[in-house]
Structure formats: C-alpha cells, structure tokens
Structure 1
Amino acid sequence: MAAAVDKVVRKGATAVALAVLMLVGIRAWQATQGPPLQPWHTIVPTELPADAIARGDWPAYVTAENKLFEQLHRDMQSQLQPGDRTPLNRYHDASLTSPAAFGRDWNRSFVLEPAGAALGVAVLLHGLTDAPYSMRSLAELYRQRGFIAIVPRLPGHGTVPAALTQQGRKEWYAAVEMAMAAARARAGGGLPVHLVGYSNGAALALRHVMGRIERGAPNDVDRIVLLSPMIEVNRFARYAGLAGLPAMLSRYAKSAWLDVLPEYNPFKYNSFPVRAARESYLVTADLHAAIEAVERQRRMGRVPPILAFQSVVDDTVSAHGVMTRLFDKLAANGSELILFDVNRTRAIAPMLRPAASGWSRTALQAAPRRYTLTVVGTASEGDAAAVARSRPAGGSALQAQATGLRYPADVYSLSHIALPFADDDPLYGHRPSGRRTVQLGAIAVRGERNALVVSQDSLSRLSYNPFHAYMAARIATEIRGQ
C-alpha cells in the first residue's frame, strides 16, 4: 500500500515539474518576442533600504527622495535615444506627458497644510504602480477641512517601472511607519488621525492598523478610509514569481516583465514587472495573517471605524472579498462598505455578465450585518438617476436616498482605477480642468484596430469616478464626525 502511494506521489511530482518546465519554456520564448526593453526598464534607481527608512524621519525621507529624482533624471537623459524623445514619452522633458507639464511633479511625496490651526492629520497611501498624484484630490479635501494631509511616495514608485524590480513590501511597510510617525508627531496626541488607502495602499493601511493591535501597541488611527482596497488579489499573483524564472539568463530578461509598454502616463507606470505582482500577493498574505491573529486574540473590537468604497466589478482585486475577508470580520464599530453597482438601465443591462455583477443584487437582502452596507446604483431599468440603497448595521429595513447624480449613459461600470478621480481631474477626468496637457480620461477610443501607439484597452477602461462628489461628501461627513 505504501509503495503504491509513493508511486502516485512521484507521478504527481513529475507532472508538476513538467508543467513548471513547460511554463518556463513558454515564458522564455515570449521573452524573445515583442518590443525591446527601454532605459526605464533597465535603469534601477538607488532608494533607501527599509532599515534606513525605519531609522529616519519625514525630512530625511524627502531629502533622499529629492536626490533620487535628480540622479535618475541625469541617468535617464543620458540614455534616451532620439527615437525616445516623443510627445508621449513621460521621460522626455519636452513631452506632453512630462510631469513638469502639470506645474508640479506629483510623483513626489508632499504635505498639504490647512489655512488655519490644524484640526487633524490624515495620511494618504497611493496604489501599486501609482504615485502620490492619485491622492491629490482627497488630500485637498482634507486640507480644506482643517487637516494636515501627508502623502508619502511609496518606494519604487513615481520614478521608473524598473524600480519595482527591486523595491517591495519591506520598503513599503517602513515608509508607512515613517509617515505614521510623522502624523503622530503633528497630531501631538490631541488631534484625530485618519489613514486613507487606495488599492495596495489600502492593504498597507490595514496591515499597519492590524499589526499594532496584534502587538498590543496603542492605536494611532481614529478612522480608516479605503478606496478599491486590495484585500484579495487574483490567484495568478500568488505564482507570478514562476513567470520570471527565465530572467535569470540575460537573454530572457524580458520574462521579468508581465507588460512592456510605452510610458505615456506621467503619474502611473504602464509596464509591470513580475516581482510587483508577487509582492502584491505577499502584502495581502501578510494582511490576512494579521487579521487572523487579531481575531484569535479577540481584539477586532479595537479596529477603528472603516469607510470603504468599492466597485462591484473589479478586474484587479476581488470586490466580494472586501466584504467576506474584511467587513464580515469587523466588530460593530460604525463601519460602512459602499459598493458602486453596474449600470442597470435597459440599454446596458442585457450586455452585463450576471456572474460578474449579480452578487450585489442579493447582498442587501442577506441577514443583518454588524456594519452598514450601501449600494449606489441606478434607480430602475428605465431611470439612470443614482440612488444609494442602504441597510444599516443590525437593521433589516432598506433605506434609499437620492444622490443627485446620474449614471453616465456611456459607462457600464466603474473600474478599479477610477475611484480617486473626479470627472474634472486634469489627467483622468471626462471633463478635465487645468492646464491643456495630455488628457487621458477625455479620449474617446473609436476607430480601427492597430492604429494607436498606446493600448486601446487602457484608454477604454474608465479612469474617473462619476460618483466622486458623493464619495467626497461621505468622507467629509467622516471628517466632521471627529
């Protein structure tokens, strides 16, 4: 019997090994195809290591960051070829997509100060491949309401995609701790502190809070606000490291990248390294372990109130996982999950995949929860007016409230990347304001295939939030509640 079992195990191990070899072979072949790596894929900036970030403070971090950007600019300009100096290359100083074209380089860490005496402090964490720009409008919202807004650039971001081949979760954790230390110092023990996170930044924010509770440290956050929180990523990210194995041989260096694309976005990478996918999974794994530890210690009651916003359909993270792996575990502490539903008007509804969006229809009908659940969607199949339907914590009766907004007729859903940006955002907005630079959100992609130098998929993905005003009002209510 034992011999038979061993034989089965050996066969299984052999099958797995062959599958891995096949994957590596396919990835090696793919690495010989497509466009070559460019300087922004090969120049790796030298950033502060995690222990140096931990030993330092906000001024030291910003000083090192300034030196980093200066050195990177010199290195990049020396390696750009004439063909790289195009109107859409963010690394060409005269291009339409140069960060300088926006009047300020929002790739860098920044602090917004209120006009009068501070009423609180907010730390805002951006997402993976993103930059502090994505937190700009919410930081201004906090500033206008008397809060100091601290927005760190997480290591590996805002520079070149190659930086994410080296920087990862250890450096991100250290940067969050450094920013929170700055917030505690500014709060002085008497002002409320809010922690705001978008996507990967949301996972980092939650891990910070859960980690302190697990260690028995005092809470340093009074309220948490999350946008498109990365609570659970797709299964591929768990095994993404295997896809990069051929990169150990220089001939197959491109296999270290899942996407090698033109860099036309001034404040977000288009190219995506394998290591970044792997690190995103490890962040969520660390977060799940921290949540489970707090549950075992029966300390979930110490988690501050959470206000989260999530699109019902999300191709980057599991929208349903935000409910099941976070909110369903919370104590009754005044938390609320707000879901942005798909457009269910008569013209669009038949085109939607029920498996992708059907769960939001039944979510409000489930047993009472310890948190408030709100779904923002169309009033009816014949009415695009947006209504917020809520079931309060512990309640069974549904409440409906008009938002004063409408679901745009040409939009069938929000997207993972849309939530932080208003429709007048200078870069991502549908009706952009400010300087007449590149306006990615206002481009209507209609025409023939294979004619653009940029990805049609990236231009058709919704880049702004039609319900941003509603979201901002809800966050403002949280601020006033302090």
Structure 2
Amino acid sequence: MPLLPGAEPYRHHGGPVGILVCHGFTGSPNSMRPWAERAAAEGYSVSLPLLPGHGTHWKDLNTTRWPDWYATIEREYLSLAEECDQVFVFGLSMGGLLSLHLAAERGAGISGLVLVNPLVRMPGQAHVALPVVRHLVPSFPGITSDIAKPGVDEGGYTRTPLHAAHSMKQLTKIVQSQLPSVTQPLLLFRSPQDNVVSPDSGRMLLERVGSKDVEERLLERSRHVATLDWDAELIFDGSMDFVRRLTVPATKG
C-alpha cells in the first residue's frame, strides 16, 4: 500500500552527535519532520523512522504490536550509535513511550531525552475494555491532528486500531515499571490543553523517573501535536539548547 503524504522516513548524515526522532501512535514522520529538519540544519546526524503499520492504512497498524515498533527504534538507535559519539532521543506521544523504553534498556548509550506530551499512562477509562472489545470491533474513531493552529493536519489515521492500542497499553505498564531506571537528562514539553494524553502521564513521569537533570516546560498555546503547533519553535529551540549543553567534544575521526 502506498505511503500517505509526508509519511516517508527521514535520514540525515551530519556530525558526530546523533538524534533519533520518534513519532506517535497512528501518526507518521510528517508530525516530526520540521523538528528533524531543524536538527539536521544544526549539523546533527538525524534518523526519523516510519514505525511499522503507520503511514498507510489503520488496518496495517492492527497487524503490528509494540515489539515491532520498538525494533525499528532500536535498529535506528544502533545505526546512529555506530556512527556517532553521542545519541539523543526526541519523542512525541507514543514516540515518547518508546523513547523511555529505549532509555531504560540502553542506559548510558543515550545522552538525553526530549519528550513532547509523552504517553506514559493510558487516558480515560475506555482502555479498560480493550482486552475484550478488540475481539469484537477492529477500531474506534481516532483522535488525530489535535492542533490549535488553524489549517494544520498531521496526516494521521482517522481510526484507532484496537489490537494495536491494546499492545500500546501493555507497553505503558512495562515502561511505568522502568521509569526509576531512566536516569538520563530529561527535557519534558507538555501542553496543558492536550486532548489526547492526560496530565496524569506527565505527573507520573516526573514522579517516578530516575533522572536528576529534569526540566518541564509548558506549551500554553499548543495541543497534543505541539511539534506542528504554535509553540513548535519553542520546542525546536529548547531541544537544540539542551543537546548543546550536554554535548561533549567529538572523539571519532
């Protein structure tokens, strides 16, 4: 099946500092491309992969599970680590969840995390029925393009595939238990007007994460997909400052 417009993965070979960029559930690289391109323009090596099941049709996503998505993230991390002295990870929504799992698994191999409205805890109560409902109906109406800026579309799925959503829920439980093991410097951007991820996710992350170098910044003018919203430049500028602060002199020739 052909890719949706903007769903193509993005890769840039730059300097000795790498940045892995992770999009969210039912989304695609389209939501993160401006951020990835900004990092590339700053001279960093950048990888923004397309997660399996995304960028085509929601039915494709229902045939995948979180280990499939994580395998792609881990593969791209290893590729960056091979060519770079340091690797940072940027994530939006479920991309933030995958980033946290990678950070817990890879430890000192990751120099820092920048997360935008990361999903750490499933919102609302509808997810409680997922173990049963996913066998009765394939999908629910989706929540896509939660963006305050008029005329902006993230190009995500308009349906939420329930087998995949149940798998994502399973990953939230794993990551919640791993949070004390996440010790990398962390910059969290959070939108108070987020209609997709509840404030409980941010609170749980800040309460449980093992990082000592932690900062939260609020995005007052943006909704969930803040990387395409009014506060996008705040995210881009803040993340570049964060990486510069934590970058050590290059050692690879």
What is the TM-score normalised by the length of structure 1?
0.46
Task: Give the alignment partner of residue 291 of structure 1, picking from 156, 173, 179.
Answer: 179
Alignment partner of 1:467 is 2:231 = yes
Q: How many residues align?
A: 236
How far did residue 233 of structure 1 move?
A: 1.5
Quote the Cα distance in structure 2 between the aligned partners of 1:212 and 1:468. 28
For residues 318-467 of structure 1, what are the structure 2 equivalents within 5 Å?
A: 318-323=198-203, 325-331=204-210, 333-341=212-220, 414-417=222-225, 419-421=226-228, 464=229, 466-467=230-231
Query: 1:122 and 1:169, CA in 2 relative to 1: closer, same or farther beyond 3 A?
Result: same
Asked if the contact 1:313/1:319 (under 8 Å) is kept, the reply is: no
Quote the Cα distance in structure 2 between the aligned partners of 1:475 and 1:148. 15
For residues 226-305 of structure 1, what are the structure 2 equivalents within 5 Å?
A: 226-234=115-123, 235-246=125-136, 255-259=137-141, 267-291=155-179, 294=181, 303-305=183-185
Quote the Cα distance in structure 2 between the aligned partners of 1:290 and 1:183. 23
Match of 2:95 in 1: 201
Matched letter for residue 172 of structure 2: T
How far did residue 332 of structure 1 move?
A: 6.1
How far did residue 220 of structure 1 move?
A: 1.2
| Runs of 4+ deviating beyond 4 Å | none
What is the TM-score normalised by the length of structure 2?
0.85
1:333-359 deviation line (CA, Å, top 9, x unaligned): 322011224xxxxxxxxxxxxxxxxxx
Alignment partner of 1:107 is 2:37 = no
Asked if the contact 2:91/2:116 (under 8 Å) is kept, the reply is: yes
Matched letter for residue 181 of structure 1: L
Unaligned ranges ≥5, structure 2: 144-152, 248-253
Matched letter for residue 219 of structure 2: F
Match of 1:133 in 2: 30
How far did residue 120 of structure 1 move?
A: 0.8
Higher relative contact order (CA 8 A, sep 6+): 2
Asked which structure has the greater CA Rg, the reply is: 1
Quote the Cα distance in structure 2 between the aligned partners of 1:310 and 1:139. 19
How far did residue 266 of structure 1 move?
A: 7.8
Unaligned ranges ≥5, structure 1: 1-71, 74-90, 92-97, 100-105, 214-218, 247-254, 295-299, 342-412, 422-463
Matched letter for residue 166 of structure 2: R
Quote the Cα distance in structure 2 between the aligned partners of 1:143 and 1:260. 31
Q: Share of identical aligned residues, percent?
A: 21
